[in-house]
Amino acid sequence: MKKVINKDSAKKRILPLIGAILVFVLCFAELYSGENVGVSDNGDFRRVLIVNNLEYKDDTDHYYLFKQDYKMKIEGDTLSQKLASLWDTYNADDIYWSPQFTIIKASKTINYFVNIITNRPETNYNIMWLALIYILMLSIAAWGIFTFFSDSTLKVRIAVFLIFVIMFCDIGYILYFNSFYGEPLQYVALMMLISVGLLMHRRPSIPKVICFFVALYFFAGSKLANIPYSVIVCILSLTFIVLKRSILFRIGVVVSLLVTVGCVINLSARIPDWMNKDTTYQSVFYGAIKESDTPEKDLKFFGVDKKYAVLMNTNAYMDKDEYAIDILSNEFDRDFYQKVSKLKIAFFYVLHPVRLVKNISYAIENSAYIRPPNSGNSKTVPMELSNRYSLWSHLRVLLKFLYTPLVVFIAFILITAYTVVIDVFYLKRRKKEPNSMIYMMSSFNVLVIGLWINMVLPIIGNGHADIAKHMFLFVNCIDILFAVGIITIIRMKKHNILLSVAGIVALSIVCNYQPPKRTMTFGRYLGEPVTWEIYESLNDGTEILVTKDCISFGTFDGDNNLWEYSDLRNWLNTEFLSEFTPDEVSKIKKTTNQAIVPTEFKSLAVAGDHTNYWNFTKKSSGDLSKTAYHYYVDDYVYIPTLDMLCDIGGKNNYWVLCPYGNNTNMERFVDDYGFVLHTVVTNNKGIRAVIRYNASTDNITNND
């Protein structure tokens, strides 16, 4: 009997370790099997590289291509001097501090010794070593989670392993490891917090307490917006003291907590002034009062002169000539930055709940993707998005209820109400219930509070700017909640499991349902009649038609994204129409379209005062596009415009009549899930034709 127990105990120890090793191998393979993939720079890398004495190895375009290799600055003649230089930090007034830099410096040190062993130039820096540290941290977190569930039934253990591997090892998360963003440290630190928190429930100890608070410090500093949430976690972590009656243990908890709070406050104090200013600017002009009908009244609430209402809809990273007022002047600093704070912005939203709900809804809609949809993943093709090991990335987009605002609001309210009721129940029975239950309820409170905070904070903290990336922690928390739900369902009786799964499927179908569109056939292409959706009937008797599906696939152009001179426009108005009869061609009427131009071609514009902003949901893709740099083009056959996207169906992955505003060689397209992304004009995408058709004609087959 004793040997059986030992074997069983050994199995419980070894299986979590095997699972962690599989997680490590899988994550490494995702990044480095075949072409290496990662996340390209969106401009945020610069401040991280400068602080850590790193620079790009070459000067080629790095905003849309993933870069593997960099250069380290190394000084000194002796080994100790060189190692010291690797840990040097470039200090300046505009530099911020993050515990992420400790991880980066550790990866530089590893890289340095590898360079010596392999006879490579000592200044070479391969970001792979940073990714390996993140992978190791995630694997350790996986080991802790698997260990916690090692006493559960086989069904639950298998489910936990599959959930972790499929959901939390998805390429959407792991791609971040090959980058200098704060998100990968935030992600692995959060998973470490969960792991250590679960292990504390099994067997509390002072070393675990210390590990928890160290992970919390790294989490807080990975993204400085995490500081408020981290302080709340610190307060709730006081429930550690109920796990063990030892005075030494409880002193260890309190001391660790106080030290962590002090470190987190220090992180907050070291946030540079420019970062506070940029985020505050965007929180107001590109958030609270964006597209407001009463901007002067809104600014009056903040104590800001109404003359600054002309800055509405602008963000902090535009060209100087795009601002109607100099936002770098001492006058603006006095009139705006010295009067507006994040607390005042939060209070503004309390008094304007409709606007708060509207902006939060916008944020939720932008949380569909795990990875940042505006950053490329490939080393060779700009804005290429890797599909390697992306099952969960695809599933969570199909599970539309995870980012449908109404569903999310209702779910959060119900979950919060349930949590409050359970909290009250256990507090009333605290003397009769085990302390471990109070601890677990506190842990669930942390998750629920985190969901609310990370849903609201991106809007209060930075407005609409780069919102998809700033919703990463919200996405992570939603996925954790969903994983908890799946594990709960698996533990149910069979009939309850079937009901729960049926409910999830039904909710997904309802959220993804689109009513059928009116269609008709008109003209021929490649010998087959062309089927069109009737998008809109106009007062002059004409109708706007768009092909039901893609009629072909092709490039937008071989050079740039100017629609007027594009190969695609030429093809649509020549080859595509070649099988239409003269009578059919005569029924196609001319349409005047707004042709948005990228910033580099703004001299061509006849109207507009800013670069076209990027939004990837159909609903918001056209935000402020009417005032972007543009001129007008007369078309007979064209491609879908931004204002059409919400109301047309059909298969996706097709070109859209809108260039990416920040360069001349990228055009926007609708992807397979209906989101509006951008890619280089030389890539192949689907083509859907649009025409204005004279409806007062005969011999047309209507498919209503």
User: Cα(441)–Cα(70) distance, rounded to whole angstroms?
Assistant: 46
Would you place residue 614 in the very low, low, confident or very high pLDDT band (cuts 50, 70, 90)?
confident
What mean pLDDT is predicted for residues 500-527? 90
Q: Is the model's pLDDT at 276 over the cut of 80?
A: yes
What mean pLDDT is predicted for residues 178-185? 96
User: Cα(271)–Cα(275) distance, rounded to whole angstroms?
Assistant: 7
Q: Output the pLDDT for position 2.
A: 45
Coil vs helix vs strand at 310: helix
HEC string of 547-560?
Answer: ECCCCEEECCCCCC
Q: Output the pLDDT for position 3.
A: 46
Would you place residue 431 in the very low, low, confident or very high pLDDT band (cuts 50, 70, 90)?
low
What's phi and psi for 690, nearest 5 deg? -130, 135
Q: Output the pLDDT for position 4.
A: 46
Q: Output the pLDDT for position 444.
A: 86
First to last CA, the chain: 75
pTM of the model: 0.93
Question: Is the Cα torsion angle 147, 149, 155, 161 positive or negative in sign?
Answer: negative
CB 611 within 8 A of CB 599: yes
User: Cα(616)–Cα(597) distance, rounded to whole angstroms?
Assistant: 18
**Please, is 8 exposed, middle or buried when counting C-beta atoms within 10 Å of its C-beta (0-12, 13-18, 19+)?**
exposed
Q: Which spans in 241-372 are helix H?
A: 247-269, 273-283, 295-301, 330-332, 342-351, 353-365
Query: Distances from the Cα of 574 to the Cαs of 201, 569, 667, in angstroms?
Result: 70, 9, 21
User: Cα(620)–Cα(277) distance, rounded to whole angstroms?
Assistant: 26
Would you place residue 149 in the very low, low, confident or very high pLDDT band (cuts 50, 70, 90)?
very high
The residues, any chain, with a CB within 8 Å of residue 444's CB and separated by 6 or more, are 419
How large a percentage of the chain has pLDDT more than 70?
A: 96
Query: Distances from the Cα of 374 to the Cαs of 43, 180, 182, 315, 468, in angstroms?
Result: 12, 16, 16, 17, 9
Coil vs helix vs strand at 504: helix
Coil vs helix vs strand at 464: coil
Would you place residue 434 in the very low, low, confident or very high pLDDT band (cuts 50, 70, 90)?
low
User: Cα(451)–Cα(473) distance, rounded to whole angstroms?
Assistant: 9
What mean pLDDT is predicted for residues 579-586? 95
Coil vs helix vs strand at 676: strand
Q: Is the model's pLDDT at 1 over the cut of 50?
A: no
Beta strands 666-670; 676-680: pairing state: antiparallel
Q: Output the pLDDT for position 272.
A: 87
What mean pLDDT is predicted for residues 37-58? 91
Higher-confidence position of 116 and 697: 116
In angstroms, how far apart are the furthest CA atoms of the chain?
A: 92
Would you place residue 703 in the very low, low, confident or very high pLDDT band (cuts 50, 70, 90)?
low
Question: Which of 405-409, 528-532, 649-653 has the least mean pLDDT?
Answer: 649-653
Domain locations in the chain as residue ranges? 45-271+375-494, 273-341, 519-702
Q: Is the model's pLDDT at 380 over the cut of 60?
A: yes
Residue 220 C-alpha from the chain's centroid: 18
Q: Is the model's pLDDT at 398 over the cut of 70?
A: yes
User: Cα(285)–Cα(696) distance, rounded to whole angstroms?
Assistant: 48
Half-sphere exposure of 109 (CA within 13 A, CB side): 15
3-state helix, strand, coil in the chain (%, to 5): 55, 10, 35
Coil vs helix vs strand at 543: strand
Would you place residue 336 in the very low, low, confident or very high pLDDT band (cuts 50, 70, 90)?
very high
- Nearest CA to 201 out of 162, 156, 149 is that of 149
Q: Output the pLDDT for position 8.
A: 62
Query: Distances from the Cα of 389 to the Cαs of 173, 374, 424, 446, in angstroms?
Result: 11, 20, 43, 30
Q: Output the pLDDT for position 649.
A: 79
Structure tokens, 479 = 């996925």
Coil vs helix vs strand at 457: helix
Mean confidence (pLDDT) of the chain: 91
How large a percentage of the chain has pLDDT more than 90?
A: 74
Q: Output the pLDDT for position 286.
A: 95
Structure tokens, 39 = 């996340």
What mean pLDDT is predicted for residues 72-77? 93
